[in-house]
Copies of this chain bind each other. A is one copy, B any other.
Amino acid sequence: MSRFPNEAGKRFDHAYYAGKHLPLVMERLKGSGMLRYEVDKGLAGGGPGAPAAFVAACHLYFNAAADFQKGIGAHGTEIMADIPNYTDISPQIQISEIVVG
């Protein structure tokens, strides 16, 4: 997943992110096994009136981390180059395993 910290004075174009950037990512990575994606827009934190810690996040779903690594190795340069088109916030990247009880 990628998370964008909610930092003062920064910009984030949610419409571009959901409508242009993620479809580009899906188009480029589906050949490496990307299954689907989810885009989250931060609304609020946990306490009353608390701001969201992250203005936006996305989750890219693959069957295996190796599939993501293969896809990002082939298309990462183009995908990273699109970031300035929607934000000047540095994304935090994390690889997670989806676990079930």
Contact = CB atoms under 8 A, between A and B. Distances in A.
Interface in A17-57: 18-20, 22-23, 38-47, 52-54, 57
Q: How many copies does the complex hold?
A: 2
A77 interface: no
Which of A3, A54, A94 gathers the greatest number of chain B CB atoms within 10 Å? A94
Contact of A39 (B23, B40, B46, B100): B100
24 contacts: A18-B100, A18-B101, A20-B101, A22-B101, A23-B101, A38-B98, A39-B100, A39-B101, A40-B96, A40-B97, A40-B98, A41-B97, A41-B98, A41-B99, A42-B94, A42-B95, A44-B65, A44-B94, A45-B92, A46-B92, A46-B93, A47-B93, A52-B94, A57-B96
The 6 closest A-B pairs by CB, nearest first: A46-B93, A40-B96, A19-B101, A44-B95, A18-B101, A41-B97
